[in-house]
A and B are shown apart, each in its own frame.
Chain A
Amino acid sequence: MTAARWEHFPHPADVGVRGWGATPAEAFEQAALAMTAVTVDPARIEPRERVAVACEAPDLESLFVEWMSSLIREADARRMLFSRFEAAIEGGALRGAAYGEPVDPARHETAAGVKGATYAELRVRRLDDGRWLAQCVLDV
């Protein structure tokens, strides 16, 4: 298990999310977890239903926005929250899945929902220490 992790970073309008990982895909997974944490404590969500996600884009940064946008769309359309993510990137295509459960207001104590993933502060890059970083600002 690598030292993958995530965090929020401040943006006056809304909130930025970033994830780190040994690969771009792992950084994407961690950033997705950071996105869930904008709305709810991920530990409250049972990852019991699998939703497949697939997207493509001409470059890694656009692919990251596509991945986050796909997760926002699936969560909203299905009234679900996700707490576990899998991503595999090959060329310009991502195939992955999100695991979660339907929103239960009594148990989940949700704060603000996410409206969209923006290109603001968007970065997907390899850091000097070899880890990958993926980040963007979310509209909430």
Chain B
Amino acid sequence: MDTSRLTRVGECEWSLEPTGAMRVPGRIFGDDRLVEDMGDEVLQQVANVASLPGIVRASMAMPDAHWGYGFPIGGVAAFDPAQGGVVSAGGVGFDISCGVRAMRTGLTADDLPGRLPALADALFREIPAGVGRRGALRLSRPRMDDLLAGGARWAVDAGYGEAADLDRIEHGGRVEGADPAAVSDEAKRRQEEEIGTLGSGNHYLEIQVVEDVTDEALAAAFGFRRGDALLSIHCGSRGLGHQVATDYMKSMLRAAARHGIALPDRQLACAPVESDEGRAYLGAMRAAANCALANRQVLGHLARRVLARLAPRAEPALIYDVSHNFCSEETHEVDGAPRRLFVHRKGATASRPPGHARLPASLRDAGQPVLIGGSMGTPSFVLAGAPGSAKAFFSALHGAGRSMSRHDATRRWQGRDVVRDLERRGILLRGGSMRGVAEEAPGAYKDVERVVSAAVAAGLARRVARLAPRACVKG
């Protein structure tokens, strides 16, 4: 990216002054190198989002931002319905409420050497992963509608996991305002047998070890300490969410034309929040988010069942479950007055600071856990929401972010070499085709350590712990 177009406003914060159709400035978080490496396309996408009606304050890009479609991946933008603000299906993306769930396994690093291969084998065997795999549940339409209204709460009521989990899931496990009737029959048909499946691509289940703790008090508040073995799941709303996005992209293209909204890129298709199309999408998107919450709850239960068998004395507990593709209705203070906004986070998570009203009592003093997924073979991070994230509508980054296309990754690496390299470093890999492994090679992602440091320097989050992968299950 040509940084001469940007004004530096902080160590890791840059402003893109409005030009052309931009209604607000762009705000980009990252150090010199990250911003340079983002590419001009990210800047263009930030500028395009800034031109949408009702956008408030700035169109933002997190330090892990990369070229997406419509919005950049790592994009954050808030819209005010009182100012004609919009909701955009492209601004949430295809994998609605894709997110990361981390749980303490009850084991420690010292327990792993003898157990890890059997644990990885059992997780791979019992958690359906990969294209076309079916889950154990087959949902009738009425039951599907209950799931779409109930999210992880539905899953707990159906016997998957424990009520105590709900406290550690964003939205208390259920997004309010879901409208199962706004979800097409096609979308429901795709989900009939997909609950409790991991998916493919960059989705994973990992066993990780807490190798470094920066803030012991926060780690304790979240429920883990140095040396603990954690289990993390990266997964989303599966076929149902993909179909909701596909359906509403189409209806929002028509809606944008009807409402006279000029789209610099068709992938930014949107509708006013206060319109029939906008309301229908919000109802369907929230239902899809509940599908993702239920899915991760069922996957967490399946993983816990494996742990109970192989390590019966371990006591697993959920640390947190956070979404990174979502549009959330929130109240934020803008220019000294509270305003009801629709905050799009596409490849970005919420990062709520201590004392935030949306946090459960058990996390009120600590702030929200912000889970940063690494890629296979690279570390993951646990951060905590920070007051400085207020400038980004209490948002932070979601992961390393790709630095190289899948296409280029397969030219550069052989899957077999990637597996061998991981094994040499003591990381077991289960599942995944050799090509899939090459596409997801750790070198195809940005330096996650650098991305996290930039977010911390920008005040978006506080550092809590670094997690090293030990076993990775892929689809």
Chain A residues at the B interface, C-beta cutoff of 8 Å: 8-15, 39-40, 62, 66, 69, 72-73, 76-77, 79-81, 102-103, 105, 108-113, 115-120, 122, 137, 139-140
Contacts of B189 in A (CB 8 A): 77
Q: List 19 A-B contacts (CB under 8 A).
A: A10-B408, A11-B67, A11-B407, A13-B66, A73-B246, A76-B239, A103-B132, A110-B130, A111-B432, A111-B433, A112-B200, A112-B201, A112-B436, A113-B131, A113-B201, A116-B94, A118-B69, A119-B249, A122-B266
- Identify the interface centre among A15, A40, A80, A110: most chain B CB within 10 Å of its CB: A110
Cβ contact within 8 Å between B200 and A111: yes
Minimal beta-carbon separation of B241 from chain A (angstroms): 8
Q: Which residues of A contact B69 (CB under 8 A)?
A: 13, 118-120, 137, 139
A72-B242 in contact given A77-B189, A111-B436, A118-B69 (Cβ < 8 Å) = yes
Contact B435 A111 (CB under 8 A): yes
Question: B101-109, B308-316, B359-367, B398-406: which one contacts chain A?
Answer: B398-406
- B65 CB to nearest A CB, Å: 11
A115 and B94 contacting across the interface, CB-CB below 8 Å? yes
> Which partner residue on chain A sits nearest B268 by CB separation?
A119
A12 close to B70 (CB less than 8 A): no
Q: How far is the CB of B272 from chain A (nearest CB, A)?
A: 20
Q: How far is the CA of A14 from the CA of B433 in the complex (A)?
A: 17
Question: Does chain A have a CB within 8 A of B93?
Answer: yes
| Bound Cα distance from A66 to B246, whole angstroms | 9
Which residues of the partner chain A approach B131 to less than 8 Å between Cβ atoms?
Answer: 39-40, 81, 103, 108, 110, 112-113
Complex interface residues of chain B between 224 and 242 (CB less than 8 A to chain A): 239, 242
**At the interface, yes or no: B376 with Cβ under 8 Å from chain A?**
no
A109 to chain B, nearest CB (A): 4
* Number of chain B residues close to chain A: CB under 8 A: 51
If A79-B132, A102-B132 touch, does A12 touch B67 (CB 8 Å cutoff)? yes
Known A-B contacts: A76-B190, A77-B192, A119-B266. Give 16 more (CB < 8 A).
A10-B405, A10-B408, A11-B405, A13-B402, A39-B131, A73-B246, A81-B131, A103-B133, A109-B435, A110-B130, A110-B131, A111-B433, A112-B439, A116-B246, A119-B249, A122-B266
* Bound Cα distance A122, B253 (Å): 15
Residues of B within 8 A of A (CB): 39, 41, 66-70, 73, 93-95, 130-134, 186, 189-190, 192-193, 199-202, 239, 242-243, 245-246, 249-250, 253, 265-267, 269, 402-408, 432-436, 439, 475
Q: What are the residues of chain B within 8 A of A117 when measuring CB–CB? A: 246
- Residues on A with C-beta less than 8 A from B193 are 79
Chain B residues in 8 Å Cβ range of A12? 39, 41, 66-67, 402-405
Q: Tell me the smallest distance from the CB of B226 to a CB of chain A, in Å.
A: 34
Chain A residues with CB under 8 A of B134: 79
For residue B324, give the distance in angstroms from its CB to the closest CB of chain A. 14
Q: Indicate if the CB atoms of B433 and A110 lie closer than 8 Å.
A: yes
Task: Give the distance to chain A from B75, nearest Cβ to Cβ, in Å.
Answer: 12
Question: Chain A nearest CB: distance from B300 CB in Å?
Answer: 22
For B433, give its contact among A62, A103, A109, A120 (CB under 8 Å): A109
- Chain A residues with CB under 8 Å of B245's CB are 116
- Shortest distance between the CB of A58 and any CB in chain B (Å): 9
B191 CB to nearest chain A CB (Å): 9
A residues in contact with B475, CB < 8 Å: 110, 113
Q: Which of B69, B200, B433, B439 has the most CB of A within 10 A?
A: B69
Contact B239 A69 (CB under 8 A): no
Nearest-neighbour CB distance to chain B for A130, whole angstroms, equals 27
Chain B: minimal CB distance from A123 (Å): 12
In-complex Cβ contact of B242 among A79, A105, A115 (8 A): A115
Q: How far is the CA of A109 from the CA of B130 in the complex (A)?
A: 9
A15 pairs with B242, CB closer than 8 A? no
Closest residue of chain B to A12, judged by CB? B67
Inter-chain CA distance A43–B79, complex, in Å, is: 47
B406 pairs with A112, CB closer than 8 A: yes
Cβ B239 vs Cβ A81 within 8 A: no
Q: Give CA–CA (A22, B201) in the complex, Å.
A: 33
Chain A residues whose CB sits within 8 angstroms of the CB of B434 once the complex forms: 109
Taking the closest CB of chain B, its distance from the CB of A136, in whole angstroms, is 9
Q: Which residue of A lies closest to B41 (CB)?
A: A12
B132 touches A105 (CB 8 A): yes
- Which residue of the partner chain, among B199, B267, B433, contacts A119 with CB atoms under 8 Å? B267
Bound state CA distance, A130 and B459, in angstroms? 55
Given the known inter-chain contacts A72-B242, A76-B239, A119-B69, please indicate yes or no for A140 contacting B406, CB distance below 8 A.
yes
Question: Given the known A-B contacts A105-B132, A110-B433, are A77 and B407 also in contact in the complex, defined by CB atoms under 8 Å?
Answer: no
Question: B435 touching A73 by the CB < 8 A rule?
Answer: no
The reply to whether A115 and B190 form a contact with Cβ atoms under 8 Å apart is no
Closest to B67 in A: A12
Give me the 8 closest cross-chain CB pairs, A-B, nearest first.
Answer: A103-B132, A111-B436, A120-B69, A10-B405, A112-B201, A119-B266, A116-B94, A10-B407
Chain A residues contacting B93 (CB-CB under 8 Å) are 139
CA distance A98 to B242 in the complex (A): 20
Q: A118-B267, A137-B69 are in contact. Are A110 and B200 (CB under 8 A)?
A: yes
Complex CA distance for A112 and B41, rounded to whole angstroms: 24
A103 to chain B, nearest CB (A): 3
CA distance A81 to B201 in the complex (A): 16
Q: Which residues of B contact A11 (CB under 8 A)?
A: 67, 405, 407
User: Which A residues lie within 8 Å of B407 (CB)?
Assistant: 8-11, 15
A114 to B93, CA, bound (A): 13
Q: How far is the CA of A55 from the CA of B461 in the complex (A)?
A: 46
A108: min CB distance to chain B, Å: 8
